[in-house]
Amino acid sequence: MGRLGFSTTESTRLLLFTVFGALLLSAGLAEEEGENLSGLSNDPDKAIFAVRENGTTCLMVEFAVKFLVPYDVLALNGIDLITEQASFTLPRGAEIEGKCGSTESEIHISWKNGAYVFRIYFSKEFRDRGIEVWKISKVQFVYDTSHFINAYNPGKHTASTHHLSALVTPAGRSYLCTAQQTFTLISSDHQKGITMSMSDIQIQPFDITSDFMFSEPYKCITDQRERLEETLPLVLGLILGLIIIIMLTIYHFHLKLTANQPQLPRDRSMYKNM
């Protein structure tokens, strides 16, 4: 019987296959997938999307989003261009993709077979005194004006923010805000300004500890101010009521003290005649 063995070439090939298989396995383990959870919300305007990595939620967004997009149409004279505006909301049935990282994450939301793509980019950074925060660093919106009524020279355009630092939130917490947050994006279509507004927001792009669950919320300043405005009249009413009670109590004790004192006759002339 001949001795079973491997040549140097075969050994090298086996090693390469092993390394390549390990790389494929690690890439498969880091697979990211999007989840559409909008059916969990009773609000028809609110969407809930998540990005999962290795079967665990690593990014979640919950919000209602509205777009206001200016575009050109041909005037009735067939010569001049006039500007119209398309208004639409982010649909709940959109498709989701995303990427999760330790310091950078992103979510891509698309609908109408890629005619519209809404991308949000997140990043982490350290602020003063070593406080770690996350923020939205960029927002991008790709749209196709061929879906707009009577659009002139229809086609795809990309609108983006510039030097954005929005929704700054302490690391490890989710951002929570009922009030509307508005962003302006500059379009490749003759530098037109696109308005994107979000409301009923809860977002967390990093450090999610429980699957499909947001961490402790960090409320936006606008909501805190509105809550103060709601509670301030109540607090002032309680203080005013307390002051009235104290004054009535003092007055009551004053009446009791004066009632126990001996009363002197008002007409003192009777003492002179005695």
Nearest to 135 by CA among 183, 64, 69: 183
Average pLDDT score over the chain: 84
Q: Give the model's pLDDT for residue 249.
A: 78
pLDDT, tens digit, 9 for 90 and up, residues 34-76: 999 999 999 999 999 999 998 899 999 999 999 999 999 999 9
Q: Are 92 and 38 in contact (CB under 8 A)?
A: yes
The string of DSSP letters for 175-221 reads EEE-S-EEEEEEETTTTPEEEEEEEEEEEE-S---BTTB--SEEE-H
Q: Can you read off the two tokens belonging to residue 62? A: 């919950």
Q: Are 116 and 142 in contact (CB under 8 A)?
A: yes
Rounded-to-integer distance, Cα 127 and Cα 119, Å: 25
Average confidence (pLDDT) over 118-144: 95
- Measured from the Cβ of residue 121, the count of other Cβ atoms closer than 10 Å reads 20
The string of DSSP letters for 38-50 reads GGG-S-TT-EEEE
pLDDT band at 264 (very low <50, low <70, confident <90, very high): low
Average confidence (pLDDT) over 120-129: 94
In this prediction the pTM is: 0.73
pLDDT, tens digit, 9 for 90 and up, residues 64-73: 999 999 999 9
